[in-house]
Amino acid sequence: MRRIALLSVAAAVAMVCAAPASAFAPLMIDPVTKQPLENNGRGRMGVSPVKKEIVASPGKYSPGTIVVNTTERRLYLIQEDGKALKYGIGVGRDGFQWGGTHSVTMKREWPDWRPPEAMLKRRPDLPRFMPGGPNNPLGARALYLGSTIYRIHGSNEPWTIGQAVSSGCFRMTNDDVVDLYDRVKVGAKVVVLR
């Protein structure tokens, strides 16, 4: 019973754009297999329930454009020949959804995390700073979106992929965000559809 209660606390922590999971790492359970997740040293914990695949482009966008469909909870990287790479993502929960067109203004490997002031007001228990690394809630990579506070970033909580749990950021597994990071250039157009 104690383990179930602690898992409920871990699920509550997943309700912010990025919240430390390191305190709950020994209790992380894969929701499909019900087995403990293990950290392989790269910050990857478990496997995403959504697999990356090549699909038809979701519209007429230029190659290199990122299209985030928050309803589908999918991110598309537009390729040549009417194709796209389709990734699973976690999106903003009710009240934290947004849309618009921006660009990737910065990219960071193993980024540090400083929760925005609005998040700290909601969650004063969060740290004011967390250095990059496997336990950092931004995961292995982050792509910063325009002048917003939002990012496309990795996550050490893969079970949140496909869910609406963040404070507006778009989460990916660490493996998927590394793949996207390596394919996308600063300046890439990002279209967020609601």
Contacts of 167 (CB under 8 A, 6+ apart): 16, 17, 92, 93, 96, 116, 118, 119
Query: Which residues are CB-neighbours of 36 under 8 A, at least 6 positions away?
Result: 26, 27, 28, 29, 30
Question: What are the catalytic residues?
Answer: 153, 169
Q: Find residue 164's DSSP bridge partners.
A: 91
